[in-house]
Amino acid sequence: MYGPKKMNTAANLFGAILLGMTGYVALVVHRVIEFEKGNSLPIYWPYVAAVCFALLGWHSLGRNAGFGGVRSLSAGLRAMILGMMASSIMFGLIFIGAQLVAGFYINPTNTVFDWFRVSFEYFVDTFNLHVWAILLIGALISGRLTGLANYRWR
């Protein structure tokens, strides 16, 4: 009660901001690369990724931050993979929701299968050297700095 106060909010905040920026930058780079190839991705996908990465940075990375060592680095990598999967699933949900509003689907079972298909296709579509290099480096930096923030304000 009278000992040092633990301030997990600093680690949560660092994790959310840093991982959110990592997801945003990686998917903006992905969007630019796909545009140069002739494909067009929706403009809102980097924002969806930033929100998903920030929420997972707050919840996953901020709560298991470690103290700046190997545990922090592995927590950053884990949060990066979870964020990439969550952003693909949320993007698929938004895409299928827009198709539903437009009246594209009549059979509800096709909606669920197409949601999984679209989410998987966008997840596989991100397997690009530049995108995953940004995600990997950003996740390691996010994990390390979140761990140091957790050590500093524990």
Q: Which pLDDT score, from 0 to 100, does residue 7 have?
A: 57
pTM across the whole model: 0.87
Check if the beta carbon of residue 52 is closer than 8 Å to that of residue 23. Answer: yes
- Residue 78 class from Cβ within 10 Å (0-12 exposed, 13-18 middle, 19+ buried)? middle
Residue 32 lies in a domain: yes
Predicted confidence pLDDT, tens digits, the chain (154 residues): 565 555 578 889 999 999 999 999 999 999 999 898 888 888 888 999 999 999 999 988 888 888 888 999 999 999 999 999 999 999 999 989 888 888 887 777 888 888 999 999 999 989 999 999 999 999 999 999 999 988 888 7
How many domains are contained in the chain?
1
Dump strand ranges (E) for 11-65.
none
Q: Is residue 16 part of a domain?
A: yes
**Domain that includes residue 62, residue range:** 8-83+128-152
In this prediction, residue 89 carries a pLDDT of 94
CB atoms under 10 Å from CB of 51, counted, come to 17
| The token pair that represents 58 in the structure block | 């707050």
Question: Would you say residue 67 lies in a domain?
Answer: yes
